[in-house]
Amino acid sequence: MNRSAPSRAFWRRFSARHWLESPLHQQQPRVPFQLTPDELFAALVAASEASQGGSASGLVRFYIGDALVPDTSYLPARTDGSLDAYVERLERLLQGRKFGLIVNAIQGHSFALWSRLREFLHGFYQATGVPPYVAEAGIFFGNYESTAFGVHQDQVDVMMFVLRGRKTMRFWEPTALELPEVVRHRHAYQPLLSRSTSARAEAGDFVYWPAGHWHVGESEGLSLTLNVALGTRGGTAANPTPMMSPAEVVASAVRGVLSARMPPSSAVQQRGSELALAGSKPVPLAKSLRAAVKMLRESMRDGELECRLLAADLSRQTGFGFQPIPSLLPSRTISHEDVVRGDERYPILWARAGDKLVLSANGRALTTSFQPVVVRVLKRLNQGLPVPVSAFVRQRRPVSEAVIPLLEHLYRCRAISLAEPSLRE
């Protein structure tokens, strides 16, 4: 039995009684979501630094009262050293004013957080599948009286874990409120409370509400929650318009093919002389479009289009629907003397497309030439046992040239680990 995630029985009950239907508040579940203070603080700092560098603009927001404050001095900093020290600095800066810190897509800044979310959701995804759109985790931290943007709806189902303090969530059925009255009472919503339900949650509790439910949060003093958004009807804060329909996924793959094969300056040419002859003979497709059609046909024959589709699909599965995913590890040389180990619980997925092999691990795909030895390596790694690299390559140069770069890629993806020295003897 996995003691870091709910049982299959829990997820079966949850899926049957609440998923997509009604809110749930579970007080002190037997298996609460676990994240150490150091891991949480490191993720907050990484997200804050990325937002200041421009790569995560808008995903880290700091509010004083209901006002969004652009001053980055209020964000967590590496020099704070800990979450408690950050809170002490805020208290000095704010002098009693209420605040709220919202960090969206924080899983992209912490492999520890992403992997714990994956473990927690493993049994749930076995029952329901990966959400059709996208998954994302966000932090809500502060002593705010109510959510800075007031009563609102989302296109995502939300699982909330209370990591610190107490927080009350108020819910309204999708049809319980009309948009004009929400706009009128978004922040002063006391006239709407008679139609609401509530969940007063404290540290360790689990709260769920479906997409479409109106909701607002109220912090009782200082609280910190991790909210996992599961895109069942649409996008998230970091991915508001995810393109996940088959037509959109194919269109994205087609763009990738043409971007790789056509000159960047390609455009549909002006054709004045042909328009002058319109009606007297058939008008041919523009030259650049004929070239695009030709390249698409070639990509279907040589398998590139299928490879791109496979890469997107496999990465969505191994990434557990989360976007973005944590960054790669730094490069490391793997030698014949090393011993590597895969993860049986989270195997490397792979598929063949013509003479190409597409594989994905932890949300990252790789396309390589199909070689039976590579498939044998993947199958062996997926058993989860320590294996000497020498057992894969056996000192043969062609095999080594195929396997060593693959292992180095999988190491950077954290799909394999290097065994302890005691296992190398």
DSSP track, 61-72? EEEETTEEE--G
CATH code for position 393: 3.90.930
Question: Residue 296: its pLDDT value, please?
Answer: 92
Q: What's the domain count of the chain?
A: 3
365 and 319 in contact (C-beta within 8 Å)?
Answer: no
1 within domain boundaries:
no
Tell me, what's the pLDDT at 53?
A: 66
Burial zone of 36 (CB within 10 Å; 0-12 exposed, 13-18 middle, 19+ buried):
exposed
- Residue 349: which domain range? 322-423
The predicted structure's pLDDT at residue 268 = 59
Structure tokens at 37: 């203070």
Query: Which pLDDT belongs to residue 266?
Result: 63
Reported confidence tier of residue 149, pLDDT bands at 50, 70, 90: very high
pLDDT digits (tens, 9 = 90+) for 397-406: 666 788 999 9
pLDDT at 56 over 60: no
Which backbone phi and psi does 407 adopt, to 5 degrees?
-65, -40
Asked if pLDDT for residue 76 goes beyond 80, the answer is: yes
Is residue 196 situated within a structural domain? Answer: yes
Does residue 99 sit in the same domain as residue 160? yes
CA-CA distance, 21 to 379, in Å (whole number)?
40
Do 193 and 305 belong to one domain? no
Question: CA dist 304 to 253, 279, 353, 375, Å?
Answer: 9, 38, 8, 19
pLDDT score at 371: 92
pLDDT at res. 271? 56
392 domain residue, yes or no:
yes
Angle 283-284-286 from CA coordinates, rounded to 5°: 115
Let me know if residue 240 belongs to a domain: no
Min mean pLDDT across 8-12, 56-60, 376-380, 381-385 is at 56-60
- Whether 310 and 408 share a structural domain: no
Residue 316 backbone class (left: φ over 0; alpha: ψ -120 to 50; beta: rest): alpha
Which contiguous run of DSSP H or E holds residue 141? strand 135-142
Under the banding of pLDDT at 50, 70 and 90, the label for residue 269 is low
Task: Say what the pLDDT of residue 313 is.
Answer: 95
- 166 plus 258 within the same structural domain: no
Claim to verify: residue 417 and residue 343 sit in the same structural domain: yes
Q: How many helices (H) and strands (E) does the chain have?
A: 12, 15
Would the pLDDT of 242 be above 90?
A: no
* Number of residues that this document lists for the chain: 425
pTM reported for the whole predicted model: 0.90
Name the nearest CA neighbour of 90 among 50, 58, 43, 44: 44
394 against 366, higher pLDDT? 366
Q: Does 118 lie in the same domain as 74?
A: yes
* Domain contains 411: yes
CA nearest neighbour of 307 among 265, 263, 225, 366: 366
Written as six digits, the tokens of 350 are 């792979």
For residue 404, what are its two tokens?
């060593």
pLDDT level of residue 425 (50, 70, 90 thresholds): very low
Question: What is the reported pLDDT for 287?
Answer: 84
The CA-based diameter of the chain, rounded to the nearest angstrom, is: 82
Asked if 257 and 136 sit in the same domain, the reply is: no
Q: Which residues pair with 68 in a beta bridge?
A: 63
At residue 274, does pLDDT exceed 70?
no
Checking if the pLDDT of 280 tops 50, the result is yes
In a domain, 235, yes or no: no
pLDDT at 270: 56
What is the distance between the alpha carbons of residues 306 and 387, in angstroms, rounded to a whole number?
32
Paired tokens of 255: 């763009």
Q: Is the domain of 195 the same as that of 93?
A: yes
Quick one: pLDDT at residue 72?
Answer: 93
Residue 82 and residue 189 in one domain: yes
**Structure confidence at residue 14 (pLDDT):** 95
Average pLDDT score over residue span 125-152: 95
Are both 13 and 142 inside the same structural domain?
yes
pLDDT at 1 over 50: no
Q: Are residues 211 and 339 in the same domain?
A: no
Are 324 and 105 in contact by the 8 Å Cβ rule? The answer is: yes
Q: Does a structural domain hold residue 272? A: no
Query: Is 259 a member of any domain?
Result: yes
Mean pLDDT of the chain: 91
Closest CA to 342 of 276, 386, 399, 277: 386
259 burial type by CB count under 10 A (0-12 exposed, 13-18 middle, 19+ buried): exposed
To the nearest 10°, the Cα dihedral for 5, 237, 101, 83? 40
Q: Both tokens of residue 207?
A: 């709260």
Note the pLDDT of residue 92: 97
Report the half-sphere exposure of 1 (CA within 13 A, side-chain side). Answer: 8
Measure the CA–CA gap between 368 and 358, rounded to whole angstroms.
7
**311 and 344 inside one domain:** no
Residue type, 167: K
- More confident of the two residues 240 and 204: 204
Quote the CA–CA distance of 215 and 150 in Å, as a whole number: 8
Closest CA to 333 of 415, 417, 393, 407: 407
pLDDT in tens, 14-53: 999 999 999 999 998 877 788 899 999 999 999 999 998 6
Is residue 62 within 8 A of residue 99, CB to CB? The reply is yes
